[in-house]
């Protein structure tokens, strides 16, 4: 009887205990990426991809770019977009939204790739909490997937690392172009944004090769070895080998 009474009292105590309140969700505003006029739509699409991924991440209440515009008006939204990755500007201009964090950044384009920089800023203090950068080939249609894939780490406060690309050739001393720009002669070692980069290795007297796309991973060293083949008869015609 005493045992039964004890169990009943314990059950009653558990039922009477207050249920812990659910943890408050952080309110995050995702802003269209600042971009030149021809890339404005792409910058907004990339931001929408970030917002969609953030909504799938527990603990966040997300305002996407359209909701930001509804609350600030078009002029206010454009002013916030113009902040780009500037933290104090983002903090000050987002205050009417009453959010805890702001995710924004900038998008630009080279001949070979999109260059993306995204920051997460404390909406109250303007402190940069995390960031990531990516280089994404123009023709790959991977921009949305790349920024979405980097979003969970961004929201966790993890800043993205650059990667290192080493280019060597056989024979050495070949000219190297990375993303269409001269990078010197092999061996070459460069710090680059994570993502795919176009690498072209050439040397006089050797067959011309098409550029190769190399995936550079954050925080890692990636090596590309290029083997060059002599042009038949080049040595007998006085070509430099």
Q: If DSSP codes are grouped into helix, strand and coil, which group holds residue 122? A: strand
What is the Cα–Cα distance from 148 to 101, expressed in whole angstroms?
17
Specify the pLDDT at position 141. Answer: 77
Just give the CATH number of 163-227.
2.60.40.1120
Residue 99, judged by CB atoms within 10 A of its CB (0-12, 13-18, 19+), counts as: buried
Give the start-to-end residue ranges of the domains of the chain. Answer: 26-155, 163-227
Specify the pLDDT at position 179. Answer: 86
Specify the pLDDT at position 7. Answer: 57
Task: Give the number of C-alpha atoms closer than 13 A to the C-alpha of residue 191, restricted to the C-beta side.
Answer: 4
pTM of the model as a whole: 0.69
Strand (E) or helix (H) holding 118? strand 113-122
For residue 238, how far is the Cα from the chain centroid? Answer: 48
Specify the pLDDT at position 239. Answer: 45
Are 197 and 167 in contact, with CB atoms under 8 Å apart? Answer: no
Nearest Cα neighbor of 213 from 197, 194, 235, 232 is 197
Specify the pLDDT at position 159. Answer: 77
What is the Cα–Cα distance from 161 to 176, expressed in whole angstroms?
24
Ordered mean pLDDT values, 10 residues apiece, the chain (241 residues): 58 56 80 96 96 95 97 97 95 96 95 90 93 83 90 87 89 92 93 86 92 86 93 60 42
| Domains 26-155 and 163-227 in one fold | no
188 CB-near residues (< 8 Å, 6+ apart): 165, 166, 167, 168, 176, 178
Specify the pLDDT at position 206. Answer: 94
DSSP state of 90: H
CATH class of 26-155: alpha beta
What is the Cα–Cα distance from 153 to 146, expressed in whole angstroms?
12
Specify the pLDDT at position 194. Answer: 82
């Amino acid at each position: 009887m005493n045992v039964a009474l004890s169990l009943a009292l314990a059950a009653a105590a558990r039922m009477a205990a207050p249920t812990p309140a659910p943890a408050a969700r952080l309110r995050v505003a995702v802003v269209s990426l600042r971009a030149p006029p021809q890339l404005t739509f792409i910058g907004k699409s990339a931001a929408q991809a970030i917002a969609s991924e953030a909504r799938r991440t527990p603990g966040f209440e997300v305002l996407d770019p359209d909701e930001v515009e509804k609350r600030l008006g078009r002029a206010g939204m454009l002013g916030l977009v113009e902040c780009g990755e500037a933290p104090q500007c983002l903090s000050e201009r987002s205050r009417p939204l009453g959010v805890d964090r702001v995710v924004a950044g900038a998008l630009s384009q080279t001949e070979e790739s999109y260059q993306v920089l995204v920051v997460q800023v404390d909406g109250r203090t303007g402190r940069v909490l995390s960031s990531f950068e990516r280089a994404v080939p123009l023709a790959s249609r991977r921009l949305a997937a790349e920024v979405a894939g980097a979003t969970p780490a961004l929201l966790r406060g993890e800043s993205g690392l650059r990667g290192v690309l080493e280019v060597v050739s056989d024979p050495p001393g070949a000219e190297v172009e990375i993303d269409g720009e001269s990078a010197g002669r092999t061996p070459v070692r460069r710090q680059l944004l994570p993502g795919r980069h176009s690498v072209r290795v050439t040397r006089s007297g050797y067959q011309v090769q098409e550029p190769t796309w190399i995936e550079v991973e954050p925080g890692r060293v990636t090596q590309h070895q290029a083997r060059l083949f002599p042009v038949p008869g080049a040595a007998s015609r006085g070509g430099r080998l």
